[in-house]
Amino acid sequence: MNHNNLVTPLLNDLYEYTMAYAYWKSGRHEDTSVFDLFIRENPFGGEFTIFAGLEEAVNYVRNFHLTENDIEYIRSVLPNADEEFFIWLKSADCSRIKIFSPKEGTIVFPMIPLLRVEGPLGIAQLLETTLLNLINYPSLVATNAARMKLAAGKNKGLLEFGLRRAQGPNGGLTASRYSYLGGFDATSNVLAGKTYGIPLRGTLAHAFVSTFSSLKEIPSSTITTPDGKETEFVSRVLDFRKKLNAENSHEGELAAFIAYAQAFPKSFLALVDTYDTLKSGVPNFLAVALALHSAGYVPVGVRLDSGDLAYLSKQTREQFRKVSSRFHVPFERLSIVASNNINEATLHALAQQGHEIDVFGIGTHLVTCEAQPALGGVYKLVEVNGEPRIKLSQEKAKTTIPGKKEVYRLIDQHGFPMTDLMIRIGEAPPKVGEKILCRHPFEEAKRAYIKPSDVMLLHQCVWDGKRAAEFPTLEQRRQFVLNQISSFRQDHLRYLNPTPYKVSVSESLYNFIHEIWQREMPVAELE
C-alpha cells in the first residue's frame, strides 16, 4: 500500500510552472540557485519544533519526473508556451539537485534551514510547493504529538484516534504516521498500522453497547478457558454482579460486555460511559472482569469517554482497589483509558488535578492541531549564481538570512544544546573549547562569547543527485525524537513560558546580512 502515487510534480502550485517557464524563457532556468526551507516561528506558542517529513521529501526528489501525460496537461494549461520548454520539462529531474538537512526527528528552531536545496533554478523552483506540503504538516503534527507526550508524562500511554476528523484519507494516514514519530504509542487507523507498522489499538464504541438490551441476546452462556475447556460464564458474571451489589446496573450494557469478553477474553477492555460510568459501567465491567479472572483470564481495563475524567478515573481506581482487596484479585492496576476531546491544555489540567488515567486516546485535537492548524514553513531563494539574495521585510521575522550557510549546534558543559550557530559556508567552524562570538541575526545588542563543550554539525547531505541517505526506520526515528526531547533543557520545552532557545549567527554572517540589508533596503522618503 503506497500513498505516494499522489506525490508527483503535479502536486504543485501552478505558479511554480509559470515561473519555471519564465525562467526558461529568459534563459535563467540553469542558473545555480540555493533555496532554504525554514519556519519563522515555533508552533503552539512553544519554543521548539520537531522536524518531520524528510524521508517522504527525499523520495519525492529521487523520483521527480513528469510523464508524457503530465506534460500534456501542463501544455493545456500554458497553451502559449514554446514547445521547447516542454522538451526541457520532460527531461527535468533532480540529478543536479543537492539537499542538505538535519536528521528527521531533530528538534529545530526558526530561521534554521530545514532543507537547503541547491541546483538549477528552474528545477529547484518546481520543488517548492510539494516539499512544503511534505514537511509542513508532518512537522506540525509530530510537534503536537511530542508536546502531548510531554504534557501527559513519561509513563502514560498515548493513542491516536483521529482518522474520522482528518483532512480526508491521506490526511488521516499522515497524521497517524507522524503522531507516532512524535512519540505516540499506537493508532486506531488500521491502514496506518498495515502501511507503517504502527501498533494498533481499539475495542468498542457506544454503538456496540447500545445494540444490546438484555441478557437474552447472548447466544452462549459459556466461555472457552485458556486451556480450551467450555465453562459456564454468564451465571458467574451474574453471581459477581450480585456480590458487587450492582443488580441495578444496565442489563443491555452487561450483555454487551459479556459478548465482548466472549469474543476477546484475552484483551477485555470495556467502554463504561454509555449509561452511567460509576453506577453501571464500572460495576458491569468488574462483574465480567471477575468472571473472566475466575475462568483464568487477565482483564485489561476500562475506557472513559465523557464527564469529569479526573474525578471518574479516581473513583474508578477506587472501585478497582476495593475489588482487588475484597476478592483477592490483581485489579488495582487495571488500565484506565480516557478519551473525549482531549487536548494539550486538558492534559496539563488533568496532571494538576491528579488523576488515575493510564492511557489517553486523542483524536481531533491531535490531527487537526486545533491550537495552530498550520505550520508556516516557507521556501526562500537565498543565492543565485553565487550571489546572495535576501527577502526584505519591515518585519524582521520575515527577513531571510542570505547565502549558503552551515549550522552548528553548540553544546554546554552539562551536555545540553545552548545555541544553534549559523555560519557562512567556507568560514572556520566553531571548535570545542574555543570561544566564539555568537550574535542575534538582527539585534545588534544581543551577542555573547560561547565556549562550547561539544559541537554538532546539524546538516548532512540527504540527496546528492544520485543517491539518497539511508533513513532509519519509523520506529528508530520515533526513538530519536524521544532522545532529542530528553537531550534538551526542559525549560525550552515546557508548556508555560518556555525559555527561548537561541539561534545565532557568526560575526562574519552578521556583517554579511547587514551589508546586503543596507544595500537592498530602500530608505524611506517622507514628504
What phi, psi does 254 have (nearest 5°)?
-60, -45
Using CB under 8 A as the binding rule, the residues of this chain from 284 to 313 that contact a second copy are 306
Using CB under 8 A as the binding rule, the residues of this chain from 388 to 417 that contact a second copy are 389-393
Half-sphere exposure of 104 (CA within 13 A, CB side): 27
Helices (H), 333-388: 344-353, 364-367
Tell me the per-residue interface mask from 61 to 100 with a second copy, x by CB under 8 A, - otherwise.
------------xx--x--xx-------------------
By the rule CB under 8 A, 49 interacts with a second copy: no
Q: State the nearest-atom distance from the C-beta of 416 to a second copy, in Å.
A: 33
List 44, 109, 137, 196, residue binding a second copy (CB under 8 A): 137
Q: State the nearest-atom distance from the C-beta of 314 to a second copy, in Å.
A: 19
Q: Which stretch binds a second copy (CB under 8 A): 92-100, 210-218, 324-332, 452-460?
A: 210-218
Q: State the nearest-atom distance from the C-beta of 412 to a second copy, in Å.
A: 36
Neighbours of 279 (CB within 10 A): 13
The C-alpha atoms of residue 258 and residue 304 are separated, in whole angstroms, by 18
DSSP 8-state secondary structure symbol assigned to residue 1? -
List 86, 184, 260, 501, residue binding a second copy (CB under 8 A): 260
Question: Residues 42, 48, 49, CA angle at the centre, nearest 5°?
Answer: 75
The C-alpha atoms of residue 396 and residue 328 are separated, in whole angstroms, by 66
Q: State the nearest-atom distance from the C-beta of 24 to a second copy, in Å.
A: 8
Contact 89, 11 (CB under 8 A): no
Q: State the nearest-atom distance from the C-beta of 26 to a second copy, in Å.
A: 4
* Residue where the block lists cell 481499539: 202
Using CB under 8 A as the binding rule, the residues of this chain from 351 to 370 that contact a second copy are 364, 367-370
Using CB under 8 A as the binding rule, the residues of this chain from 184 to 203 that contact a second copy are 188-191, 193-194, 200-203
List 50, 112, 117, 163, residue binding a second copy (CB under 8 A): 163
By the rule CB under 8 A, 42 interacts with a second copy: no
Conformational region of residue 8, where left means phi above 0, alpha means psi within -120 to 50, and beta covers everything else: beta
Nearer to a second copy, 31 or 427 (CB): 31
Nearer to a second copy, 101 or 274 (CB): 274
Q: State the nearest-atom distance from the C-beta of 338 to a second copy, in Å.
A: 16
By the rule CB under 8 A, 428 interacts with a second copy: no
Nearest to 450 by CA among 407, 511, 409: 409
By the rule CB under 8 A, 315 interacts with a second copy: no
DSSP 8-state secondary structure symbol assigned to residue 275? S
By the rule CB under 8 A, 106 interacts with a second copy: no
**Exposed/middle/buried for residue 230 (C-beta within 10 Å: 0-12, 13-18, 19+):** exposed
Q: State the nearest-atom distance from the C-beta of 509 to a second copy, in Å.
A: 19
What phi, psi does 439 have (nearest 5°)?
-120, 145
C-alpha cell at 230: 467450555
List 45, 65, 153, 167, residue binding a second copy (CB under 8 A): 167
The alpha carbon of 180 is separated from its chain's Cα centroid by a whole number of angstroms, namely 7
